Amino acid sequence: MKDLKLVMAKNHDIITPKTEIKIGNITVGRDFLVIAGPCSVESEEQIMKAATAVKAAGANMLRGGTYKPRTSPYSFQGLGRIGLQYLSVAGLKTGLPVITEVTDTRDVYLIGEYADVLQIGTRNMQNYSLLVEVGKLKKPVLLKRGMNATIEEWLSSAEYIMNEGNPNVILCERGIRTFETLTRNTLDLSAVAAVKGLSHLPVVVDPSHATGRADLIRPMSLSAVMAGCDGLEIEVHPSPEEALSDKEQQLTPEQFHILMEAVKKTLIFKEELKEKG
Ligand code: PEP
Ligand code: MN
């Protein structure tokens, strides 16, 4: 990883301080980031309900996919531009910055007009022209780990973005593909601890796509906090059973509220451990 000079915390004898990214009222890398919201923006009402609920529970960023990278061409593909408008209005009304995925170089500028953070999904981690475009835009980018990518490949993709002059990169571990089929992916928490030691960039964990199961979000979220992550990205839907995508893994607002209480307690517990040495 010697040539990853922008991403690594230590380069020869030069130590780069931890990256902090100011987005609205929060500073990612310092404040614990909780991104929450539905897998997809489905209607104005749905995203507004989700935004109000996640804000009340303590989330500090709103998510919602509008350009969806679906495995099947027959699945819901997202609302596109009108979805971006709904998401942005819900963010403004609740005071939450918003994040949404960009899948195509042609949409980078448009999405940058609406979103505070651009998400690069697992399927596009090695889409180098997309990485270069979001690098040029210079807005904060959340870079998900490719489902088949090594840690070094993941960091190399972050280097692509930074090499275009955009230092505002947040890494996101979202599970990798293994032989296991009981969960959607396998959450690689060792990667979180390892990357925190290697890089100065903030690392967020997405237990929703990592497990694909609502019942596993709580244990994985709390474990991710203990592994040292800088934040979580969690799918929350006003009524998950009616969701147009990823219904098995989305939490209800009530479940999310309970989870947030536990996350807050775990963060305090972790701080106490640190103080005791
Ligand atoms: C998402 O967060 O909406 C998503 C599609 O995630 P991933 O790229 O990790 O599958
Ligand atoms: Mn999803």
| Domain extents in the chain | 17-276
In this predicted structure, what is the pLDDT of residue 220?
A: 98
Q: Name the residue with the closest Cα to ligand 1, atom 6.
A: 121
In this predicted structure, what is the pLDDT of residue 229?
A: 98
CB of 101 within 6 A of ligand 1: the answer is yes
17-276 carries CATH number 3.40.47.10: no
CB of 64 within 6 A of ligand 1: the answer is no
Q: Name the residue with the closest Cα to ligand 1, atom 8.
A: 121
**Helix (H) or strand (E) run with residue 44 in it:** helix 44-57
Ligand 2 centre to CA of 77 (Å) is 12
**Length of the chain (residues):** 277
- The b-or-e profile of 243-269 (16+ CB within 10 A means b, else e) is bbbbeebbbbbebbbebbeebeebeee
| Backbone phi and psi for residue 7, each to the nearest 5 degrees, phi listed first | -90, -30
In this predicted structure, what is the pLDDT of residue 276?
A: 85
Rg, C-alpha atoms of the chain: 17
Ligand 1, residue 172: give the atom nearest the CA.
Answer: 9
Ligand 1 centre to CA of 234 (Å) is 11
The tens place of each residue's pLDDT in the chain, 277 residues long, gives 879 999 999 988 899 999 999 999 999 999 999 999 999 999 999 999 999 999 999 999 999 999 999 999 999 999 999 999 999 999 999 999 999 999 999 999 999 999 999 999 999 999 999 999 999 999 999 999 999 999 999 999 999 999 999 999 999 999 999 999 999 999 999 999 999 999 999 999 999 999 999 999 999 999 999 999 999 999 999 999 999 999 999 999 999 999 999 999 999 999 999 988 7
In this predicted structure, what is the pLDDT of residue 1?
A: 84
Ligand 1 centre to CA of 13 (Å) is 37
Ligand 2 centre to CA of 11 (Å) is 36
Structure tokens at 213: 């199961």
How many angstroms separate the CA atoms of 70 and 123, rounded?
Answer: 10
Q: Name the residue with the closest Cα to ligand 1, atom 4.
A: 121
Ligand 1, residue 122: give the atom nearest the CA.
Answer: 8
In this predicted structure, what is the pLDDT of residue 2?
A: 76
CB of 184 within 6 A of ligand 1: the answer is no
Question: 3-class SS at 72?
Answer: coil
